[in-house]
A and B are shown apart, each in its own frame.
Chain A
């Protein structure tokens, strides 16, 4: 069969459909791109932070590669060559001001490392390693010039014979290059000479190049300097194997440490174990968040159901008027509503004053209704109530009143008619409202922060703390990931038990 223009009808139809699909896709494209760019990408980026740990490897590349051979179970310090690599890494990190950033990162795992790295950044320029440089410059003053070194490391034979020094030189050139400087025009630094010493003194590179041999003979008479004790002079913590174990444990570029931390576990040399009892907090907070969100959801159902029922059964005019009252809180700032609860609930507040005036409570026995779980539940129920009432209302509106009348005319009592006929039809509204309220309340943090005191705060308050105060974004991301996973699991369970098809936001 052919279409009017002579092409086969099937082909012509397929083309028309394809055009339609492309048009549909183009229509939703702006939204799709918007959601991808502004919503999904940031979430993915944030989740990625919960396992990402490049900073140790990026800042201390040589140290990490040499440390991998060290048996961290031993009570001994890493060998001298690790310290030599650490010296080079630290000087380069300090040049780029990265050492304090690493210290902050490692301080999350071991207290005290923040100041240790800051202090070492200051002390590392005062090492005794200048004797190497002096010896070299005494032998031939041209060693002091960067150009000599540039020349030396353009020789492939030297590069392969002295890999450590060569890579140190390259990194140094790169760091200077980023500042717009040229390493061949700068004076040589002690740490590069030290790198050369560590290799040449072991006989590496002998006979490869005349200059290397010259360096070897210049170094010959020098008493070697222990870099390890140089570091121990800055701070004795460097002589503590525990510090090195921390660096060793957190060297991998991807780690599960943040996730362990967020379920009150920790990594130790003996494996994974629970944190000490006085530091466990997150599991309890997850549990509390779930429990209180459930309580809030149920109190929203209890309070919202009758309101929605009345709204649905009143004449349109009155219902619309009352609807404004339900929506009114939406138009008020969240902070204002929460603070208003503070004025109401506090011990010298409105409710307590009225109760004392009525003589229902004694003046010295005023009720504590805020800065605890009660306060959080009351304030959040109030704030989230519209999210329950609106779906309930729109579902109830679609339930024909004739069903109830039919039930009653067949002999049902008021209760039976409601429970057997009306209620089952309103369940989709309850489902939709509950999901909305529950998921919103799980992520709430401003209201619990203001009225929650110590027993009414949620896991989100800790997430906010780690994002804005402690700057431990990795841990915040891990906590957030777990929260997201819990919500998805609950959603899945809800779908299996109740069925998501049963959820209705409107008629």
Chain B
């Protein structure tokens, strides 16, 4: 197997006019892994199509991001990594980096600078949460509610979720402790700044679970991002949490009577990693793709197709109108000042440590 790329590379050196390998030691085909659905489509149009047009590289899509960490680990153990670039959430990127499964990237030399010359490390800023992770979008997990089922007073605070008297009916929450525990504590009177300090303690965890216990009978627990939009559209729930882009499509594309509740939205990041263990040609190709796909213009372009905020500061002013609907996208971004009045940043370090411990308690509580 290894002989073939080596031979091809050899040929490329001796016959530089060969069209497929015109740019030297790079693979002519790559597999990019992402989440599928509207999100993959936005990447296809904003990144893959222009990249293929520029370079002639054939891009194969694989919608496996949900199991990316487990699959990459298995591929690595088998010594046969078949993916070139993988789209993962930041928490997964940190784990892949920890396990040595993702390549470390130097932002300033391996990523494009902003048009005004600002180095990439400054342009991305704090969003570079791991050495292996190149952020692409900022998304948030937040609530949407049925405008026709909430009565006269539309909810303005996340604590409406816990207020079953004013807002009777079911709500949908994700079947995992992350985010739910934080919201429970905030609505139980814990200051936003203290949430993770409280959650570190056994009492704090019990406090959060006790708060969740007050609405346990009114909750439908979801595990796929498409669940809440469906439940809202069916009228099964009055309100529910999901990713803001999913709610955007329920509201703007499907015209359902649903509105956004941006209060206490939890910011999270999604971006690229390059697996370790690629051949030099494939790695060079992956790095070349990353350099292209995460530049200022490309990140801004993606926002034409989906309502997630670009991760570069320099991309924000370039965000325009939705490519098909023709509406301004800026007001639908989780990072828009009007939406981001009260926000929360997912604490990666905390959840990397406490995820297993709190999840065990959360699942035991759920099963009671």
Contact = CB atoms under 8 A, between A and B. Distances in A.
Contacts of B70: 467-469, 471
Contacts of A20: none
A347 B236 contact: yes
B367 A284 contact: yes
A458 B170 CA distance: 24
Nearest to B176: A469
A104 B98 contact: yes
Interface string B58-97: 0000000011011001000000000000000000000101
A293 to B, nearest CB: 17
B271 to A, nearest CB: 19
A443 to B, nearest CB: 18
A111 B95 contact: no
A320 interface: no
A148 interface: no
Given A285-B367, A468-B67, A112 B353 contact: yes
By CB atoms of chain B within 10 A, which of A118, A278, A346, A347 has the most? A278
Contact of B97 (A100, A115, A453, A470): A100
A329 to B, nearest CB: 23
B99 interface: yes
B152 interface: no
B363 A462 contact: yes
A114 B100 CA distance: 14
A453 B220 contact: yes
A100 B99 CA distance: 6
Contacts of B223: 449
Given A348-B235, A470-B359, A114 B353 contact: yes
Nearest to A453: B221
A51 interface: no
Nearest to A449: B223
The prevalent SS among residues of A at the interface is loop
A107 B356 contact: yes
A111 B356 contact: yes
A280 B100 contact: no
B231 to A, nearest CB: 8
Interface in B196-254: 206, 220-221, 223, 234-236
B349 A471 contact: no
A114 B234 CA distance: 42
B73 A471 contact: yes
Interface in B302-358: 349, 352-357
A89 B206 CA distance: 38
A348 B99 contact: no
Nearest to B354: A111
A472 B70 CA distance: 10
A455 interface: yes
Interface residues of B, number: 34
Interface string A271-286: 0000000111100110
Nearest to A98: B100
Interface in A30-55: none
A101 interface: yes
Contacts, number: 82
B364 A279 contact: yes
Contacts of A280: 364
Interface string A89-123: 00000001110110110011001111100100000
B360 A101 contact: no
A371 interface: yes
Interface residues of A, number: 38
B234 A346 contact: yes
A111 B361 contact: no
B221 A371 contact: yes
A93 B178 CA distance: 31
Contacts of A278: 206, 361, 364-365
Contacts of B100: 96-98, 100-101
Contact of A348 (B175, B234, B353, B355): B234
A471 B356 CA distance: 10
A371 B97 CA distance: 36
Interface in A64-101: 96-98, 100-101
Contacts of B367: 281, 284-285, 454-455, 457
A98 B97 CA distance: 10
A243 to B, nearest CB: 13
A108 B356 contact: yes
Contact of B357 (A100, A103, A111, A453): A111
B13 interface: no
Contacts of B361: 278-279
Contact of B236 (A348, A454, A469): A348
A475 to B, nearest CB: 9
Nearest to B349: A115
B364 A104 contact: no
Contacts of B235: 348
Contacts of A281: 360, 363-364, 367
Contacts of B18: none
Interface in A283-311: 284-285
Nearest to A347: B236
B130 to A, nearest CB: 10
B366 interface: yes
Given A347-B236, A371-B221, A454 B356 contact: no
Contacts of A115: 349, 352-353
Nearest to A264: B364
B356 A472 contact: yes
A279 B362 CA distance: 8
A467 B74 CA distance: 10
A349 B73 CA distance: 41
A118 B367 CA distance: 33
A462 B360 CA distance: 10
A107 B97 contact: no
Contacts of A454: 175, 221, 366-367
B352 A114 contact: yes
Contacts of B364: 278-281
By CB atoms of chain A within 10 A, which of B99, B100, B349, B353 has the most? B353
Interface of B: 66-67, 69-70, 73, 95, 97-100, 170, 175, 206, 220-221, 223, 234-236, 349, 352-357, 359-361, 363-367
Given A347-B170, A454-B221, 12 more contacts: A100-B97, A101-B98, A103-B98, A111-B356, A278-B206, A278-B364, A279-B360, A346-B234, A348-B234, A453-B220, A454-B175, A457-B367
